[in-house]
A and B are shown apart, each in its own frame.
Chain A
């Protein structure tokens, strides 16, 4: 069996699955249950500075987006950082870490953007024996209105400054958690790196309103008839998170910066994908909040089985393996030609491919009287929409055309050599090939 042991910034954990800083990691009871269930690590829910804790709303904190059969696809929340006393949290962290020395325990922190505040809390956290800290520069609701969380994460200069303070007053690894509510994720990542961060973690949640109550005209979750934007997470945000992770993994100023991947990770496959995009480990929250801590068992068995199948013996073997293949559109091979192909044995004749193609795409699927659906190669641009709307797995596939074959749509021979937009004759800025 593959070795799932994770070494992230020198922090060891039996597997790369950590619980993200969030409601599931708010207190000792939950964290002990998580470790018993098999989670490799936990980022403790964000601690604030000493004094009266924050207060949460006393109404709904979550809103949801559903797929078929009420499968939870997206969740948002308006919960704040921990609303429990700082010292209670610190004592619990210390106890749990002592009892689970083999698990990773990271403490998330958010205090005002003043050196004194950080200088005050960091020694207290250091004293717990936790393995590292994560700076919450991502929380998009509530705390950001008070100049913390995403309000810091949206200003690269603040990120760099606070990271530097943390490296100065804390001896263990410092992870900077980034907000996706920003135009270019590489800027805050570079700032964190400049400030001396050991790693970044992303994404935090996305500004969102999940729904509007059409009776009360209030956004959901609704507190006494009014709503505020919350932080969006769950399977729906995975594509956004992976894009941002990949930008950092391949960015000129950020390449090589360790990444802890977060955003909609629900299965072992999601985790594997984040790792191939350069993540050293992953953090999970919504999947646990939806199904309970036991989901980690599927993540462990699935990742392990896949690694065995591929011959990978450690996480390092495939970490970042997909990064070289993430590129800009202009470098995509325009000489690559594919055609959709419908497997008639698997087809159940629902006709969704036809409706999609006929109404919204290229009229490249024919429908016979007896509901046989076939691709018209002379029209098919291989857009993949039919594959995406087909309800049957692997019924429609994209088949590459071999070099030398003639594409019936263009009448042109498929070229063996790649060629992209940078050299394309239609590109006014095309690079002239050497004579």
Chain B
């Protein structure tokens, strides 16, 4: 290796090859049959189970775990995928510690929930590993529907629509489908090309045509889609990124965390990715934590996560925070950036300490930085969209927008937790509503 963690500046190859392999391997290795059976045996098969209530897609968790326990993992997978067609990805990326596993009664009983996420992965991997797609399309309806965005919301919507017999065309701005599953999630959560494999598996339903490099507003207008299709679903996510509006915020070495993560996910060799020696990530959400931890895993010597409030207010889950901290990421709280210093390239970032009410304390601190990653929120881009609410497309419960014939879901739509699993639920529910409307039932 040409460099080490001590090398100043933004350079590649800080670690030896085996360290990269270890750092970017599966966060939770797949369960083997025995481990899955032992874990499944712990489920109490609760009545009206709290884990189901806690799941945004309402997966019948006790049922699928019982199906695993009785030796029918493919039946378990069908139970999962019926509710959540991206159950495989959700098993990997869901913050289960704040959803199903937090609600698990064994968390209350012993502080150790049933490992629902890992069991879900065991079941879905078992079925998808055989290349089996368990769903079939209903008789053709003759309806044509456009889906904008091939992320979790769009693909979930497209799959359900195709299953109901509609013909679906999916337009995505990027070169590859998957949305944040492909470009935005930490590499160690979904290694070995799982995101693409899942898309390929999902498309086996048939009736879905995928068009890449087609962005709404750039390559096609909403009006055109409305004219050419029976209905439109908008699930393009948040394409814009909030800038760092402080003195020196445009210096070299300051970049968006989402681009840093996307580059990482698309890299064929992570050892070739440059990373700073002293990396500072600004933000407190999942993107910030994912970027900070991955900078550390790429060999950065010092990684600081700087957040304006306390840890309890961070959108990143406690598990994610602890995971980052356990790898040596320093979490600074109650700081806001006030200036980026350096002659052309960043060398330091200056923060002011702030009180709980965000009022300045007047005291500041400078942190050495040769790379600064902005993770302070993403924004909806585009003109001529349906009415907005809080910067996102306003929707009712089933994803209906202010425009007849146009539905929306996922991160670009109002409501929800901006989680993969929420996007899947919103896409699915919008599809059901679109079907009702198109078929004259509602």
Binding site for B on A (CB under 8 A): 68-70, 348-352, 354-355, 367, 371, 391-392
Residues of A within 8 A of B44 (CB): 350, 352, 391
**A68-B41, A69-B41 known; A351-B109 Cβ under 8 A:** no
A-contact 0/1 string along B46-86, CB 8 Å cutoff? 11111000000000000000000000000000000000000
- CB < 8 Å: which of A70, A349, A355 contacts B105? A349
CA distance A400 to B330 in the complex (A): 59
Q: Is the CB of A69 within 8 A of B105?
A: no
> B interface, how many residues as a size bin?
10 to 19
Flag whether B6 is at the interface (Cβ < 8 A).
no
Closest CB pairs A-B (n = 7): A351-B47, A355-B47, A68-B41, A348-B105, A350-B46, A348-B108, A350-B105
Instruction: Digitize B119-154: 1 where CB-to-A-CB distance is under 8 Å, 0 elsewhere.
Output: 000000000000000000000000000000000000
Chain B, residues 142-184, CB within 8 Å of chain A (1/0): the string is 0000000000000000000000000000000000000000000
- Of B38, B41, B47, the residue contacting A350 (CB under 8 A) is B47
A367: shortest Cβ distance to chain B, in Å? 8
B33-51, CB < 8 A from A: 37-38, 41-42, 44-50
* Contact A348:B47 (CB < 8 A) given known A68-B41, A69-B38, A69-B41: no
Which residues of A have CB within 8 Å of B38? 69
Given contacts A348-B108, A351-B48, A355-B47, 5 further A-B contacts (CB under 8 A): A348-B105, A349-B46, A352-B44, A352-B47, A367-B48
27 sample A-B contacts, Cβ–Cβ < 8 Å, listed by A number: A68-B42, A69-B38, A69-B41, A70-B37, A348-B106, A348-B108, A348-B109, A349-B46, A349-B50, A349-B108, A350-B44, A350-B46, A350-B105, A351-B46, A351-B47, A351-B48, A352-B44, A352-B46, A352-B47, A354-B47, A355-B47, A367-B47, A367-B48, A371-B50, A391-B44, A391-B109, A392-B109
Which residue, A70, A348, A354, has most C-beta atoms of chain B within 10 A?
A348
Query: Which positions in B face A, CB cutoff 8 Å?
Result: 37-38, 41-42, 44-50, 105-106, 108-109
Counting chain A CB atoms within 10 Å of each CB, which of B42, B44, B106 scores highest? B44
Q: Cβ of A68: which chain B residues have Cβ within 8 Å of it?
A: 41-42
A178 to B241, CA, bound (A): 82
Q: Are A352 and B41 also in contact (CB < 8 A) when A371-B50, A391-B109 are?
A: no
**Knowing A69-B38, A371-B50 touch, does A352 contact B109 (C-beta < 8 A)?**
no
Nearest A residue to B41 via CB reads: A68
Complex CA–CA separation, A350 to B46 (angstroms): 5
A395 — nearest CB in chain B belongs to which residue? Answer: B109
B332 to chain A, nearest CB (A): 38
Complex Cα gap A354–B106 (Å): 17
- Nearest A residue to B44 via CB reads A350
Contacts of A352 in B (CB 8 A): 44-47
Alpha-carbon distance between A351 and B62 when the two chains are bound, in angstroms: 12
Residues of A within 8 A of B49 (CB): 351
Distance A371 CA – B103 CA, assembled complex (angstroms) = 12
Task: Return the chain A residue nearest B108 by Cβ.
Answer: A348
Q: What is the CA–CA distance of A348 and B48 in the complex, to the nearest angstrom?
A: 13
CB-defined contacts of A349 to chain B, threshold 8 Å: 46, 50, 105, 108
How many Cβ-Cβ contacts under 8 Å join chain A to chain B?
Answer: 33
Question: Complex Cα distance A367/B50, Å?
Answer: 13
CA distance A355 to B45 in the complex (A): 10
Name A358's closest neighbour in chain B (CB-CB): B47
CB-CB under 8 A from A354, the residues of chain B are: 47
Cα–Cα distance between A349 and B49 once the two chains are bound (Å): 9
Report A-chain residues with C-beta under 8 Å of the C-beta of B106. 348
The complex places the Cα of A45 from the Cα of B41 at a distance, in Å, of 36
Set of chain A residues within 8 Å of B50, measured between Cβ atoms: 349, 371
Instruction: Give Cα distance in the complex from A349 to B44, angstroms.
Output: 11
Q: List, in ascending order, chain A residues with CB within 8 A of B41's CB.
A: 68-69
The winner among A350, A351, A371 for most chain B CB atoms within 10 A is A350
Chain B residues with CB under 8 A of A355: 47
User: Bound complex: CA of A138 vs CA of B109, how far in Å?
Assistant: 45
* Cα–Cα distance between A367 and B49 once the two chains are bound (Å): 12
CA distance A344 to B41 in the complex (A): 25
B75 → chain A, closest Cβ, in Å?
A: 15
Contacts of A371 in B (CB 8 A): 50
Bound-state CA distance A290–B47 (Å) is 34
Output the least CB separation between B230 and chain A (Å). Answer: 40
A192, chain B: closest CB distance, angstroms: 43
Give the shortest distance, in Å, between A215 (CB) and chain B (any CB). Answer: 12
User: Closest CB of chain B to A343's CB: distance in Å?
Assistant: 13
* Minimum CB–CB distance for A374 against chain B, Å: 14
Query: How far is B68's CA from A138's CA once the two chains are assembled, in angstroms?
Result: 39
Q: A392 vs B109: C-alpha distance in the bound complex, in angstroms?
A: 8
Compute how far the CA of A391 lies from the CA of B109 in the bound complex, rounded to whole angstroms.
Answer: 9
Instruction: Determine the residue in chain A with the shortest Cβ distance to B53.
Output: A371
State the CA gap A129–B274 with chains docked (Å): 85
Bound Cα distance from A350 to B47, whole angstroms: 6
What chain A residues lie within 8 Å of B47 (beta carbons)? 350-352, 354-355, 367
Whole-angstrom CA separation of A70 from B37 in the bound complex: 9
CB distance from A355 to the nearest CB of B (A): 4
In the assembled complex, the Cα of A106 lies from the Cα of B355 at a distance in Å of 82
Q: Taking the nearest CB of chain B, how far is it from the CB of A205, in angstroms?
A: 27
Q: Chain B residues near A350 (CB, 8 Å)?
A: 44, 46-47, 105
In whole Å, how far is B124's beta carbon from the nearest beta carbon of chain A?
A: 24
Which B residues are CB-close (under 8 A) to A367? 47-48
Q: How far is the CB of A67 from chain B (nearest CB, A)?
A: 9
CB distance from B243 to the nearest CB of A (A): 44
Q: Give CA–CA (A349, B103) in the complex, Å.
A: 10
Residue of B nearest to A69 (CB): B41
Nearest B residue to A66, CB-CB:
B41
Question: For B109, what are the chain A residues with a Cβ–Cβ distance below 8 Å?
Answer: 348, 391-392
Q: How far is the CA of A355 from the CA of B49 in the complex (A)?
A: 11
- Pick the most buried of B38, B46, B47, B109: most chain A CB atoms within 10 A of its CB: B47
Chain B residues positioned under 8 Å from A391 (CB to CB):
44, 109
- A69 surroundings in chain B (CB, below 8 A): 38, 41
Closest-by-CB residue of B relative to A392 is: B109
**Chain B residue contacts of A70, Cβ below 8 A:** 37
A391 to B45, CA, bound (A): 11
Smallest CB-CB separation from A391: which chain B residue?
B44
B46: chain A residues within 8 A (beta carbon): 349-352
Output the nearest chain A residue to B34 by Cβ-Cβ distance: A70
A395 CB → nearest B CB, Å: 10
For the complex formed, measure the closest distance between the CB of A346 and the CB atoms of chain B, giving whole angstroms. 9
Task: Give the residue name and chain of the A residue nearest to B42 (CB).
Answer: A68
Would you give the shortest CB distance from B34 to chain A, in whole angstroms?
9
